[in-house]
Amino acid sequence: MRYSDRNSKKIQDGFQLFTSLRTGYQVKLLSDRWFIEPSIAATAWPINTNVPPAFAAADKKWNRYFLLEPNIHVGRRF
């Protein structure tokens, strides 16, 4: 992860581990060539390293996880 100031000048680099667990189903449409895939996800970012103090202070007011995140994917098979 690259941290930058408001002028896009690099402050420092860090690392974030982002995980996601998703469950849902796929609805096939139009002769199985198109699909809609609604799902629910639980996401977490348990590891954040080398975070600048200003970013850490702003991030501290939020949880390190997000439960029940809705998703919908639309696609076409080739």
pLDDT tens per residue across span 3-13: 888 888 888 88
pLDDT tens per residue across span 23-69: 999 999 988 899 999 999 999 998 888 888 888 888 888 888 899 99
Q: Measured in Å, how far apart are the chain's first and last C-alpha atoms?
A: 34
Burial 35-64 (b: 16+ CB within 10 A, else e): eeeeeeeeeeeeebeebeeeeeeeeeeeee
Pairwise CA distance, residues 78 & 59, whole Å: 41
Give the model's pLDDT for residue 26. Answer: 94
Give the model's pLDDT for residue 54. Answer: 84
Pairwise CA distance, residues 43 & 52, whole Å: 23
